[in-house]
Structure 1
């Protein structure tokens, strides 16, 4: 996979990365890379594009010639080391690293989790693997696979860059405290953790179909208050509002024509957050929203994605929940009732926080920061209407800012 290189003489901005990774120029270059792999005259298309503010842009590409196909990963992020087998390109704009999936440079366990024979060997325990499906993949960050076996059982395989042992420990701590986290199916293997399926269904489903409020606000607050104190001993991760500048930059990169407006919003948010009381440091989920909660008959039956769990603030978890709730109606008309639910949750959270000496200004400002972090995430190459979704999220930021300033 040797490729000629060119001296890097320019500044590789993230906006330029987005444009280049989504260009025919780059996919044509990839056509040349896959040709010696037995895919002569292949068509290469962009499958997914990911922008990590402050780090760079990565993409997943599908290559096919009608009879055979494969996937490639590419990133403009700076990598300290590049494993053997990767292609490293230097052009006048910057450096790109390309690999053949699943040889992700920073996810050494991805090959294990995506190879049926290896999955069956590691977690089958005598069962035959019937299906292995990718549920999520963020190049260089993480992946989640679903493994279904012949006895009907399922495992979710989470592939991490590092700290799989720490995440395993967090799950055991939550389970020991009575929090319904997914049950690990053994110790980590090559930074891959296997979990059993949570009971119930995602709160997102109930929010879509339930005739009334599917989960009382008190149940949410009670769950967060019940998080074990042992989480205070693990490394803290920044909340969405702590990375306001990064997410603002990502929004400006996705919607450059709105860069000035976004800059004004960033200034207002920064002032509000600086003056809003945050409350005491406490055990926190860190990524708390409807997709990470499973429910059944009004009770919480599963708490997922606790990778960011650790020291944090109740107001940030509640703001994360509200921020994701706010964007649901624009994703699917069946979430129409969520606008009303948002008001119910916001009022209840405000009342609880006020009783703890934390004002509504901080709650709404942090909710606005969460929605701002979702603006760039609206970008979807398969959806020509993604800009309208991004604009709607930007409008929501403005509305939440107005509430915070009352």
Structure 2
């Protein structure tokens, strides 16, 4: 394996093939092709998931470098540089993946929970190595979802789903959990708001989204707190500089401006990741579901509102064919949200959200991810400029009063 000081280059460049081939050969198989599909670059660790074709069939392989390698991975390298490699079904920090990817084990689990018996068909819907996964299970019990999290988090997540679903929030009800970190969730009706935006369907009134957030139970204030977009702004800026070094100065300057001009609102229950892929809507535009409540807890309401508008503004650039409809709905949301929070602070927080999404194209290794990262940085800067325009307009009115 060639020497590398840059973990991103090591795990996404040509040397990644050498690493994966060495790990696969230890099992007696041969690596035929590989493609990175998920990149998680942190300060102390870089982890990448790959879509691969082996001599034994297709597989999702993962590799990580940095810090102490998790127990149970195949180690490639020497004392100077070691990379841990594993199959998705053997994630070292998500032991529930073994059962979640095994139709026999899932069928047995459903039977033990009183959900019926019989064969099930499994599909891995999302996977963040070492963090979480979602598997769709279809069988006699209908369609259910298995969420896999680190074992130490599963009971609290089960209780959070029960709390929300029992308190008037349309979150999926938890049907049970296992000690190894597997949570069984019911399926809710409707399509994601993102899907509705792509098909010109009936959209929910933005005030209905506010009302749903208002129903979040007060008990969430006592849950673990997730750091806010504002608190992570400088980290997001450094991430941009890590993947596109020529943007480092601009992103750092932008982050400095956002942090200097922002202030924090009162602590209330929040979703913490509130955007169009987490909201389900029926054919009449009625909200029917709120997904991924893992990080619901105490926070600033402006974060939830900024998260949605920020994602919509990025989505309009990602889906140019639907940009007009997405921008129109984003403008409706912004006008409604402006009546509930400080409009200037909202735009600054939207800029933080967009900055957090700037490295998304690199994370999933989209073609042209460098230009896409630059485009998103430009968009974040435009949101700051819009906040400045509001500030100048207010000062003008005050001076003429």
- Alignment TM-score, normalising by the size of structure 1: 0.88
CA distance in 1, matches of 2:28, 2:270: 50
Measure, in 1, the Cα distance between the counterparts of 2:129 and 2:176.
25
- Indicate yes or no: 2:281 matched with 1:295: yes
Alpha-carbon distance between aligned partners in 2 of 1:36 and 1:75, rounded to the nearest angstrom: 17
1:199 aligns with 2:165: no
* Unaligned residue ranges in structure 2 (runs of 5+): 390-401
User: Any idea what SS the aligned residue of 1:73 has?
Assistant: strand
Shift of 1:86: 3.0
Residue 255 of structure 2 corresponds to: 266
Q: Is the 8 A contact 1:163 1:191 kept in 2?
A: yes
Q: Give 1:350's aligned residue.
A: 338
Unaligned runs of 5+ in 1: 354-358
The number of residue pairs the alignment matches comes to 383
Q: Residue 143 of structure 1 corresponds to which residue in structure 2?
A: 133
SS of corresponding position for 2:121 = strand
| Residue 301 (structure 2) pairs with residue 311 (structure 1) | no
Structure 2 matches for 1:157-306, cutoff 5 A? 157-161=146-150, 162-210=152-200, 214-273=203-262, 276=263, 278-296=264-282, 297-306=284-293
Contact 1:144 1:158 (C-alpha < 8 Å) held by counterparts: yes
- Give the aligned partner of residue 351 of structure 2: 368
Runs of 4+ with deviation above 6 angstroms: none
Q: CA deviation at 1:43?
A: 2.0
Pair 1:341–1:28, CA change in 2 (3 A): same
Asked if 1:338 is matched to 2:331, the reply is no
Matched position secondary structure for 2:289: strand
CA contact (8 A) 1:31 1:44 kept: no
Summarize the Cα distance change of 1:70–1:222 in structure 2 as closer, same or farther, 3 Å threshold: closer
1:330/1:389 contact within 8 Å kept: no
CA shift for structure 1 position 164: 0.9
Q: CA deviation at 1:291?
A: 0.5
The farther-off stretch of 364-373 and 328-337 is 328-337
* Distance 1:62-1:288 versus aligned 2 partners, 3 A rule: closer
In the alignment, the residues of structure 2 paired with residue 118 and residue 390 of structure 1 have an alpha-carbon distance, to the nearest angstrom, of 42
Q: C-alpha deviations, 1:3-29, integer Å up to 9, x for none?
A: x9x9x9x9x5xxx11111112223123
Which deviates further from its counterpart, 101-110 or 61-70? 61-70
Shift of 1:211: 6.1
- Select which of 82, 85, 90 maps to 2:70: 82
Tell me how far apart the structure 1 counterparts of residues 278 and 249 of structure 2 sit (CA, whole Å).
34
After superposition, the C-alpha distances for 1:44-65 in whole angstroms (9 at most, x for unaligned) are 4133232243242211234435
Residue equivalent to 2:109:
122
Output the CA distance in 2 between the equivalents of 1:303 and 1:361. 27
Say what the alpha-carbon RMSD is for the aligned residues. Answer: 2.3
In structure 2, relative to structure 1, the CA distance for the partners of 1:24 and 1:139 (3 Å cut) is same
SS in 2 for 1:258: helix
After TM superposition, the score normalised by the length of structure 2 is 0.89
| Distance in 1, Cα, partners of 2:191 & 2:299 | 27
